[in-house]
Structure 1
């Protein structure tokens, strides 16, 4: 498996991968292109034999500059159950763009057990605490059209521990 930084040319394949990974929200094609172009240092692709098997997008929130926000994690069906999501996030956290992040944050719906398991495992492997609390609620923020998104906050992060776990 090869990990690499995305390019705009990856946009269509990323859009297709996300569509094949319910319950992920489908971003617009343009949004995926912007992630590949403007936020490439905060995103990663896992590729095997020229096929995109995994994608993680993220960014450093201006309102929380010490954090790295994981926006979306997608793994192709044949790549699941092998720790690929954890490996991609670990690789991202070792990049210079994330090196100063003291916390990893993300949002997850309450019923997305696969995502909760992923982030609990990352916190445990990194020897960091994980806090959980409602961020965007079903009624006031989504007008009842989307489940509440809970903020998971992992940290403080020991980057040496992440390097050690990658080794």
Structure 2
């Protein structure tokens, strides 16, 4: 059309079918590729604009589904991966800017949920892990700077709450 060009290519063999569609407009180019075999289906979509590039890949097998999305702008890159099996779901998100990198991982099973977040800047690294089971919730936070390392752990059960904080400097441990 006057503003859009679209191309689709399909390739079939005895065991694989692959389809790629590319769409171009004055401001956007998008490509989607789907590949199917007897045991796997995979789809990748890439979208580009003047300021953003985004890629999403989804892979499905009889027992697993995995999705990864990467988004890039002039100042930020973000990646999210989600993996699902019959018993576990895991999600990891990493975000990078010129001064900060942050990663969060969440894992869920029928009996446990765990989340870990790590943040790094030029002067600080901080990690927080939270684990929940039917009877216990535990959180640990560690913060490191050039002169101090501090760790706090909180554990909660139906009858008890406990908090421990440790701080270390070049001259003191508390």
TM-score (norm 2): 0.26
Structure with the larger RCO, 1 or 2 (CA within 8 Å, 6+ apart): 1
Larger-Rg structure: 2
- Structure (1 or 2) with the greater strand fraction: 2
TM-score (norm 1): 0.26
